[in-house]
Structures are given as structure tokens and as C-alpha cells.
Amino acid sequence: MNSQATKKIKTNTSVNIWLRILKTMFLGRLTEERLVRLYHQGKIFGGVYTGIGQEAIGAVSAHIGTPDDLYAPAIRNVTVHLGRGTKVLDVFRQYLGRVTGPTRGRDGNVHYGEMDKGVFAMVSHMGAMLSVLVGGVMARRRLGKSTMGFAYIGDGASSTGDFHEALNFASVFDVPILFMIENNHYAYSTPKEFQYRCQSLVEKACGYGMEGLEVDGNDVIKLYDQIKIILEKIRKNNRPVLLVCDTMRMRGHGEHDDASYVPKELLLKYKEKDPIHLLKKHLLNNDFACEQDLKKLEKECLDEINQSYKKALSEPMPSPDDLLEGVYAED
């Protein structure tokens, strides 16, 4: 972070963290934009699912946790992975099915996670990872750590039975988890009106005896402060909290989907609220950074992405001979 380079730059205790968050968002956005292009060039096996436009929630929450905390990201949370320290290189390896990647080619696209960074690799079944996180946090705390958990849930996933069981379980057992619903207005093609009929998903909180809050999921500055306050409470009370984050899926469900069912106005409205744009504006307007710094940061990210993609491409696929290796763990 090179914000000290120019004279006029102000600083406060938060500037560093904002810049780290920005970097994570840049990395996420640019990596996924590259993946999008690769998909449409026919260079990706399987699908591409992005979190473009939703980077703030993952980036803020990834940077705010401690090394002992546990995360259960969902489809769109590339910034959780990157924020917790997963390399862009590993994202490409994963998408390209490389044996060097986090799932060694056994799983694809968004289904990765690195336990040494406290991140679970998701299964596809919506909601299923929530109780895994609950158990993970319970275990780490039993083992003497002060772990808390961060969960990411789509508006669509809130309709699953697993969502209900996990939130209730966490509440009954006083498991400190921040359950974040990223309400991005759609579940695949289905608008949120066909997913639930409460006014806001935050109304589900009281049914679990949890505190519930609604926030703007695209405004890093506010989000950071809000989550910080909530986390203090969570750690103090050992109680889960439900946080409903308003945001928008800016692309199709996956790149195979042109999302023509999404009204243009809605996309326009959220384009204005692009989290990267908002954070950059804030940093610039307050003289926490200058254009040059940000350009430089973006360039650094792009370089890393270019190099990573090239490197990943050059790496081997898993050997067919290893197909059956590791179906079971050995003692």
C-alpha cells in the first residue's frame, strides 16, 4: 500500500484496512472479469459464477475476522477467499481444474476453500454449509479458541430447510456466528418476491431469538463500521446475529445466463452503487488516496492476475491414475 507516496494524503486508523479491502475487491473483480472473458472464449471447463457487484460484503467481513475465525462462503464470495489469503493463482487453478489447485481438480469453479485460512469449501446444496460452520465454530471453541463464524447466504437459500435448522441450532447452542444474507434480488431467474413474503428477510431474525439488522451491502465504509460493532456484540454475548445486506447480482446467475429477465433500471440503480466505485470515491474525496495510488493498486492486481492465469495454465491437470486416490482418509 503506497498511500504515503504523495504529500496530500491524509490518514486515519481505518485507511489501511480500507485499502486492504479495496485491494481484495480489485482482485476479486478483475479476476472474475477475466474468468468471464475466458468463459466466453470457451476456455473454461464448466461454468463461471461471479460476485461482481457484491464484493464489499465478503471483502469487509474477511478482513475483519481474526485468524481463528471460520468462514462459510457461498457462490459469489470470491472476496472472502481472497481476503482470507487465498491466492488468485489458486482461483485460476481451481477453475482450470489444475492438480495444483485447492481441490486438486476434483472440484471446480466456486467450490473451494482453504482450512488453514479458516475457510470451508462449499458443497452446492444451498444452506448445507451453514450447519457445518456451526459445528466448526462449536468445535474450535471447545478446543479453546475464541473462534466466531461468518456465514454467507443468498436470498434464495433462505428458503431452504437447512437455513432454518442451522440458524436455530446456532441460537440454541449460543454459537457466535454472523449470518449474512446477501440479498441480491435474484435466485437464478427467480426474483425475491417469489422467494419470501416478509417485507425484509431481517424479519426472520426474531424467530430465532437473534438480533437482526439490515445494511447496505455495497458501502464498504458504513459496512465496516456496522460489522465491527456487531462483532463486538457477538463476541461479548456469544450469540449469533442475522445481518441482511442489500446488494445486486450484476451479471447472470452464471455466465451461461444473460439475465435478460432482470430489469435494466435495477441494474442501473446498482451500477451507481458499485462498491468499488463507492469506496474509491470515498478515498479520493477525503484525500485518503489519490488517483495515482488507486491506478497503481489496480495495476498491481492486474499484473498478479495475468501472471497467475499464465502460471495456472502451465500447470498440470490431475493424473487420471490418481482418480481413486483419497476417496478415503488413511489413519
Partner 1 sequence: MPKTEMTYIDAIRSGLDHLLKDHKDVVVYGQDVGAFGGAFKATLGLQEKYGTDRVFDTPISESAILGSAIGMAMQGLRPIVEVQFVDFITTAFHQILNNAGTTYYRTKIPVPMTVRAPCGGGFGGGPFHSEELENFFCHIPGIKVVYPAYPSDARGLLYSAVLDPNPVIFLENKFLYRRIKEFILPKGEAVPIGVAQIRRTGNDAVILTYGAMVHESLHAAEQISAEGFEVMVVDLRTLKPYDIDAILSAVAATNRVMVVHEAWKTGGFGAELAALVAEHAFHLLDAPIVRITAPDCPVPFSPELERVYRPSVEKISEALLDLINY
Ligand X SMILES: Cc1ncc(C[n+]2csc(CCOP(=O)(O)OP(=O)(O)O)c2C)c(N)n1
Binding site for ligand X (CB under 6 A): 75-76, 124-126, 154-157, 160, 184, 186-188, 249, 253
Look at residues 131, 86, 133 and name the one whose alpha carbon lies nearest to residue 112.
86
Min dist CB 151 to ligand X, Å, is 12
Q: Which of residues 166-185 bind Mg ion (CB under 5 A)?
A: 184
- Least separation, in Å, of the C-beta of 157 and its own copies? 12
**Residue 65 touches partner 1, criterion: CB under 8 A:** no
Taking the complex as a whole, the smallest distance from the CB of residue 75 to Mg ion amounts, in Å, to 9
Q: Choose one: 120-128, 176-184, 207-215, 235-243; the region binding partner 1 (CB under 8 A).
A: 120-128
DSSP 8-state secondary structure symbol assigned to residue 20: H
Residue 147 in grid coordinates = 473462534
Residue 196, binding choice from ligand X, partner 1, Mg ion, none, Cβ under 5 to 8 Å by partner class: partner 1
Q: Are strands 70-72 and 149-154 parallel, antiparallel or unpaired?
A: parallel
Nearest-approach distance from CB 231 to its own copies, in angstroms: 20
Question: 249 is in the binding site of which of ligand X, partner 1, its own copies, none (Cβ under 5 to 8 A by kind)?
Answer: ligand X
Burial of 110 (0-12, 13-18, 19+ CB in 10 A): buried
Q: Does 168 bind its own copies (CB under 8 A)?
A: yes
Using the CB atoms, write b or e for 212-232: b if 16+ within 10 Å.
bbbbbbbbbbbbbebbeebbe
Residue 114 contacts by C-beta under 8 Å, 6 or more apart in sequence? 81, 84, 85, 86, 90, 102, 121
Q: Which of 15, 99, 213, 221 touches partner 1 by CB under 8 A?
A: 99
> CB–CB of 81/32 below 8 Å?
no
Rule CB under 8 A: say whether 28 interacts with partner 1. Answer: no
Which x/- pattern over 131-170 shows residues binding partner 1 (rule: CB under 8 A)?
Answer: xxxxxxxxxx-xx------------xx-xxxx--xx-xx-
Contacts 24+ apart (CB under 8 A), 44-47: 44/95, 44/96, 45/96, 45/97, 45/108, 46/95, 46/108, 46/109, 47/109, 47/254, 47/255, 47/256
Nearest to 186 by CA among 269, 271, 252, 110: 252
Query: Which of the choices its own copies, ligand X, Mg ion, none does residue 234 contact, using the CB cut-off of 5 to 8 A by kind?
Result: none
Q: Which residues contact 216 (CB under 8 A, 6 or more apart)?
A: 222, 223, 245, 246, 273
Shortest CB 75 distance to its own copies, Å:
20
Choose which of 32, 155, 246, 293 interacts with Mg ion (CB under 5 A): 155
Q: Footprint of its own copies on this chain (CB under 8 A)?
A: 159-165, 168, 171-172, 194-199, 203-210
Tell me which residues touch partner 1 (CB under 8 A).
45-47, 97-99, 102-109, 111, 113, 115, 120-121, 123-126, 128-140, 142-143, 156-157, 159-162, 165-166, 168-169, 172, 187-190, 194-196, 261, 317-320, 322-324, 326-331
* Interface residue list for Mg ion (CB under 5 A): 154-156, 184, 187
